[in-house]
Amino acid sequence: MKKITLLIVSFFFTLLVFSITVTNPLGPTVVPVTGLMEDTIEEEVEINVSLWKDANEAVALLVSNQADFAVLPITVGANLYAQGLEIILLGVHEWKAFYLIGSSNVDFEDVKSLKGCEIYSPHGRGQTVDVLMRYLLVRNGLVPDKDVKFSYLPPQEIVSLFKAGKVEYAALPEPFATLAITGTEGEIILDFQNEWNKISGSKYGLPIAGLFVKNEILEKEPDIVSKVENAFSESVEWANANLDQSLKITNEYLTIPVPILKEAMNRLVFEYIPIVECKEEVDNFLNTMHELYPEGLPTLPTEGFYYL
């Protein structure tokens, strides 16, 4: 009887230890975790995926121990780390997502063409695409808010206004860029990643989002962290190799039609790169964001932010 009791306790202890939750943004970043969500890849530990709509929600899940890992924008993770949340960046998997779109009325040749124009951008000042746009304006001799006006709205509203012919320029992440130009004569006129690569020499693109783990998990269970990281990487590979199946799963969680998602995937890049291989690129990106917009990234993370 004692032996059976021990086995039962051991069974539940194993479940407790090896059941891991990864919280992930509800958006196009669902695509790379579809392999985990539908158990289409082999996992050495039980991994549950929850979805967050707001970064505050992700923080609450981490702090309350309802999540052990989180997919976060790199800048959000850096700010949370600076504020005392002990999370470690394991790797980056989203490298391409942001584009400038223009209506059929615009005459765009290069960034200097934007002088005297108004650009719509989602959410508010300090978001990644907003900082990138301001960065390119400065690099081209223009003064943001003086030579170029910025207006901020939720991405869905920008899409509606663009389709209605009330917006000429918008800096958007995919799949909203594709949503906006579909059915219009508008087009993508600038690839932020290409511009960044020209300036930074990056070989991957923009380090937009990545996989973070709570430091206490890393200290107590480094082997499990390694297994989760491997499974996450395999999930990204599976999604790229089985795109139709992955997008069908994604469509169950997002309201965006599969054809739009499929078109947008031509301009989205998901590739998992461990931080040990891309730290220099992340450093360069965060330093640039900090230098250009210190209000949005007031403190750069220390070495403890990276899993090296």
Nearest alpha carbon to residue 212 among 78, 83, 70: 70
Please say whether the beta carbons of 90 and 210 come within 8 A.
yes
- Please report the pLDDT score of residue 11 as a whole number: 45
Please say whether the beta carbons of 278 and 102 come within 8 A.
no
pTM to 2 decimal places: 0.88
Q: Token digits for 45?
A: 């530990």
Q: Tell whether the model's pLDDT for residue 290 goes beyond 80.
A: yes
Query: What confidence tier does 18 reach under pLDDT thresholds 50, 70, 90?
Result: low
Tell me the mean pLDDT in the region 140-167. 95
Tell me the mean pLDDT in the region 150-177. 96
Q: 98-200: same fold as 20-95+208-305? A: yes
Tell me the mean pLDDT in the region 82-86. 95
Q: In what order do the strands lie in the sheet with 149-153?
A: 149-153, 118-122, 169-173, 98-102, 187-191
* Class of domain 20-95+208-305 (CATH, top level): alpha beta
Which string of DSSP letters, residue by residue, matches 220-288?
H-HHHHHHHHHHHHHHHHHHHHTHHHHHHHHHTTSSS-HHHHHHHGGG-EEEEEEHHHHHHHHHHHHHH
Is CATH 3.40.50.2000 what the domain over 98-200 is classified as, yes or no? no
Domain boundaries, the chain: 20-95+208-305, 98-200
212 vs 10: which has the higher pLDDT: 212
**Average pLDDT over the chain, rounded to whole?**
91
- Please report the pLDDT score of residue 177 as a whole number: 97
